[in-house]
Amino acid sequence: MVWEARWGGLLARLSLAALGARVGGGAVAAPESPSTAAFLACVRHRESTDNYAAVNPHGYYGAYQFDQRTWNHTAAHAGRQDLVGIRPDRASPADQDAMAEALLGWLGRTPGHDACARP
């Protein structure tokens, strides 16, 4: 099964089998430098200018511009069934931040935000 994950403007096709192998059955990867908070603040600003209610007409929502399918997979993987099916822009800022951090820990950083990865 293949699903599409948009993370920071980058559309990547990932197989669920590869995801399972990469995260080691749910293990969260250690954050890289710069700090996770600084990296996510940079991504949030680049994606939505820090607007948690942002809506892109192409189906991306919230401060981090999640598509619905990526949001649902991330929420389920993070054990947040209460967020599955909720449109990301309608989730609280704290929940959006938590899902962005969960996705970062799950999949790591992508080349789409190299500018945010510089110290």
pLDDT in tens, 18-31: 333 333 344 444 44
Per-residue pLDDT tens for 73-91? 999 999 999 999 999 999 9
CATH of domain 2-117: 1.10.530.10
Q: What is the mean pLDDT of residues 26-44?
A: 69
Q: Whole-prediction pTM value?
A: 0.71
Beta strands in the chain (DSSP E): 2-7, 10-15, 55-56, 60-61, 66-67
Delimit the domains of the chain by residue range.
Answer: 2-117
Residue type, 107: L
Q: Decide which of 6 and 42 is more confident.
A: 42
